[in-house]
A and B are shown apart, each in its own frame.
Chain A
Amino acid sequence: MWSEFCADVSLYSALRCPGAGRVRRALNCAHSRGLFVLTVQRLNRYYSEERRRSGWTLQTIALRVLIGIGRAVAIVAAKCDVAASSVIGAGVYLSDYGHLILGPKCVGSGTVIHSRVTMGVRAGSDIRPAIGENVWIGPDCIIYGELTVGDGATILPGTVLSMSVPPRAVAAGNPATIIRRDFDNTGLRRTLACDIDRNEVAPT
């Protein structure tokens, strides 16, 4: 869990203040709401595993209290709630603007998730979406149902996605369609810009 946290910190500081000194990076991460939400989720996941393994001990009781406070702060400050059951890889960026309601099965490392994104089950079922590595998810997206988003895929802003996306593809629209098969989103994931020129990703 510590190595995951270190990967998060390095990703956040690379995105929020590239090329800054060590002190400024630490301060910048300390007041990042997205990093706070992510850390609370990681603690919550650790707690639920520990609780299953060894029941109520002094450690789990202390964690329970800490996570209760942490989740309340995450709801009030960032309007975020991330399910404890989801497995989140090392080095994931959650937007600092919040409004995230996330309940995926797993999120791969290097994924960037912008604000007002919803992930969850289709109503009346309990199969959760699986998000691959290095995925870029724009603001106002909804991802629900039994689906897999492949590694390196790009979900454009405002997409309502309820079907699987192949690796390195671009999905857009409501309801979603695949608008391009092979797109490299490394440039998108290097910055925090979330307004994309659609001509840039349009089929060539």
Chain B
Amino acid sequence: MSSIAKVLREDFEGYPHGHITSAGKVCVTLFNYPGLQAVLVYRFGRYLYVRRHTVWWWPALVLGAPLYALAALFVRKCYDIRLLMSAKIGPGLALGHFGGIEIQNCCLGERCCIGHQAKVGSADNPEGPQIGAGVWIGAHARILLPVKVGDGATIAPGARVTRNVPKQSLVVGDPARIVSRSYNNKEILLPGD
């Protein structure tokens, strides 16, 4: 139980003023950031999904699955954010805005930051991209092929990644090319503190 609480705490801390101090603050942060609502719904679904083969979780699944389906439908229809169960997302995902976000069939590291209209992983390729920790993915970026993106890499807005990206590098353009191999993205990841 403590591990899921830690994951949720990290999710909140990806946003400005996101430190969990009071219930009121949690509500305000949740209301202000549709991306955070989507991530919470994903965490709930994923928590049940990874336990689907354990028999003593089945009563909870019967109750939880329709609840998840409703919440996911709300997020998809209202904000157009699709975080599918086939994606494996590390703690502390921050979605900057809303609209057109699709994350599926991929593996995301911790403390990633993803802009709106970004597409990570595609439905017709079950082994999707492997993305490291602390990666900043700009708006309208597309990572559809099974590539490896190293820790701390930065994908510029509008980039279409077709090849592996080394860690700490900055890629730009369509198709993406490496512009810098030592780019520090600590400042542009949404502020934790």
Contacts and interface: CB of A to CB of B under 8 A. Distances in A.
Contact of B79 (A75, A124, A160, A175): A75
A99 B99 contact: yes
A135 interface: no
B157 interface: yes
B90 interface: no
A81 interface: yes
Interface residues of A, number: 17
Contact of A118 (B136, B156, B157): B157
Give the bracket for the number of chain B residues in contact with chain A. Answer: 20 to 34
Contacts, number: 55
Contacts of A160: 140, 156-158, 173-174
B178 to A, nearest CB: 14
A175 B158 CA distance: 9
B157 A144 contact: yes
A202 interface: no
Interface in B127-181: 136, 138-140, 156-160, 172-174
Nearest to B80: A79
A76 B97 CA distance: 13
B80 A99 contact: yes
Given A123-B188, A124-B188, A174-B174, A101 B80 contact: no
A62 to B, nearest CB: 20
B193 interface: no
Contacts of A140: 140
Contacts of B188: 123-124
11 contacts: A75-B98, A76-B78, A79-B100, A99-B100, A99-B117, A116-B100, A123-B136, A144-B157, A160-B157, A160-B158, A175-B172
